[in-house]
């Protein structure tokens, strides 16, 4: 009996590629399964230990004294909202305008290349390094901690995220859209703000939200800048309570009530970050113009 004719689907090379593909898919599936198991374990632990602490007192009462029963994290929640809020107000316009410059004006200039290099360094820099830098700049010089210093540290973490997201989104805008606006006599600054930026506003807002999600959970920069405050305070020029630092202090304490509050704070941050990520991916999805 004659052998089967050689076809592209029964050669040794094809069979080896098929086996390699199956092995690659299997390893990818196992890796995804391991990652999802770890994530599920973390979320389940937070839900079991933290959700029970989220009651009315948690949101309306300040942190208790050592060994005292009850209490909540109202001062830490308000402090985090203020610090992150002002950091967002600082980082958003700077990041968006810098991203517009890199995409629409600078592009291949030496200054733009240097800016991209610095942005890449800031994206990969550990947050504790940023905290130490702001400590030397805005805390050691004035001899006291403050909420403003915390906002400055968090804004330095958020700015490169917003810059990179804005630049990447603007690079996706078709050149024909810019050419059409120029043909109508619009100046370059107006084309950048009213045409290209508007076309990708959903992606830019997504970048801002992701930057906010990153700032909410940062602990190291706030340890060196805003520090902490056991009492309720809205004075940004003084030390302020904030969720990450309070969670760190309470989780390391020997008091069971404090540890329960720490679990509640961790669950609250996880819920906030999860909500922000869902909003970033669902509510602000937009299609680029053809």
pLDDT digits (tens, 9 = 90+) for 178-216: 889 989 888 988 999 999 999 898 889 888 998 999 999
Sign of the torsion angle spanned by Cα atoms 51, 56, 60, 63: negative
Residues 233 and 190 occupy one common structural domain: yes
Residues 49 and 114 in one domain: no
Query: Given this model, what pLDDT does residue 269 score?
Result: 94
Q: Is 2 within the bounds of a domain? A: no
DSSP 8-state assignment for residue 226: T
Q: 26: which residues sit within 8 A by CB, 6+ positions away?
A: none
Per cent of the chain over pLDDT 70 is: 93
Residue 290 lies in a domain: no
Which pLDDT belongs to residue 72? 93
Q: What is the dihedral of CA 234, 238, 244, 248, to 10 degrees?
A: -130
Please give the DSSP secondary-structure letter assigned to residue 145. Answer: -
Least Cα distance to 135 among 155, 160, 153 occurs for: 153
32 lies in the same domain as 176: no
**What pLDDT score does 66 carry?**
83
Answer yes or no: is 271 within a domain: yes
Give the range among 38-42, 153-157, 240-244, 278-282 with minimum mean pLDDT. 278-282
Structural domain containing residue 160: 58-282
DSSP states along 26-84:
HHHHHHHHHHHHHHHHHHHHHHHHHGGG-SHHHHHSPPPPTT------HHHHHHHHHHH
Counted domains in the chain? 2
CA-to-CA distance for 101 and 162, rounded, in angstroms? 13
Q: Are residues 76 and 17 in the same domain?
A: no
Instruction: Residue 266: name the closest of 38, 72, 50 by CA.
Output: 50
As to burial, measured by CB atoms within 10 angstroms (0-12 exposed, 13-18 middle, 19+ buried), residue 3 is exposed
Same domain for 155 and 27: no
Same domain, 73 and 175: yes
Residue 5 lies in a domain: no
Query: What does the alpha-carbon distance between residue 220 and residue 231 come to, in Å, rounded to a whole number?
Result: 21
pTM of the model: 0.87
Res 284 pLDDT > 50? yes
The reply to whether 41 and 153 lie within a common domain is no
Tell me, yes or no, whether 145 lies in a domain: yes
Same domain, 87 and 42: no
Within-domain flag for 88: yes
Q: How far apart are CA 52 and CA 127, in angstroms?
A: 31
Q: Give CA 211 to chain center in angstroms.
A: 3
Does residue 226 sit within a domain? yes
- Answer yes or no: is pLDDT of 256 > 70: yes
pLDDT tens track for 88-126: 999 999 999 999 999 998 888 899 999 999 999 999 899
pLDDT value of residue 285: 65
Which of 216, 207, 96 lies closest to 150 in space, CA to CA? 216
Mean pLDDT over all residues of the chain?
89
Give 163's pLDDT tier (boundaries 50, 70, 90): very high
- Is 214 within a domain? yes
Domain holding 199: CATH number? 1.10.3720.10
Query: Is 197 found in the same domain as 92?
Result: yes
Q: Decide if pLDDT at 41 tops 80.
A: yes
């Amino acid at each position: 009996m004659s052998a089967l004719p050689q076809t592209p689907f029964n050669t040794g090379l094809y069979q080896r590629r098929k086996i390699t593909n199956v092995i690659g898919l299997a390893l990818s599936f196992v890796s995804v399964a391991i990652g999802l198991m770890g994530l599920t374990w973390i979320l389940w632990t937070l839900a079991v230990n933290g959700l029970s602490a989220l009651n009315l007192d948690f949101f309306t009462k300040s942190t208790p004294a050592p060994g005292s029963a009850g209490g909540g994290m109202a001062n830490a929640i308000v402090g985090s909202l203020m610090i992150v809020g002002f950091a967002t107000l600082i980082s958003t316009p700077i990041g968006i305008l810098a991203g517009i410059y890199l995409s629409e004006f600078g592009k291949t200039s030496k200054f733009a290349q240097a800016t991209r290099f610095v942005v890449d360094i800031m994206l990969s820099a550990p947050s504790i390094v940023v905290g130490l830098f702001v400590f030397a700049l805005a805390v050691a010089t004035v001899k006291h901690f403050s909420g403003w210093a915390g906002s400055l540290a968090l804004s330095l973490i958020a700015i490169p995220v917003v810059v990179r997201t804005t630049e990447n989104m603007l690079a996706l805008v078709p050149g024909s859209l810019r050419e059409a606006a120029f043909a109508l006599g619009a100046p370059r600054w107006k084309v950048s703000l009213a045409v290209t930026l508007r076309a990708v506003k959903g992606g830019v807002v997504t970048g801002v939200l992701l930057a906010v999600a990153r700032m909410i959970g940062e602990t190291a920069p706030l340890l060196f800048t805003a520090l902490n405050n056991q009492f309720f305070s809205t004075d940004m020029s003084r030390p302020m309570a904030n969720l990450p630092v309070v969670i760190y202090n309470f989780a390391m304490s020997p008091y069971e009530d404090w540890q329960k509050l720490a679990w509640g704070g961790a669950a609250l941050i996880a819920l906030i970050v999860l909500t922000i990520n869902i909003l970033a991916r669902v509510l602000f999805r937009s299609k680029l113009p053809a």
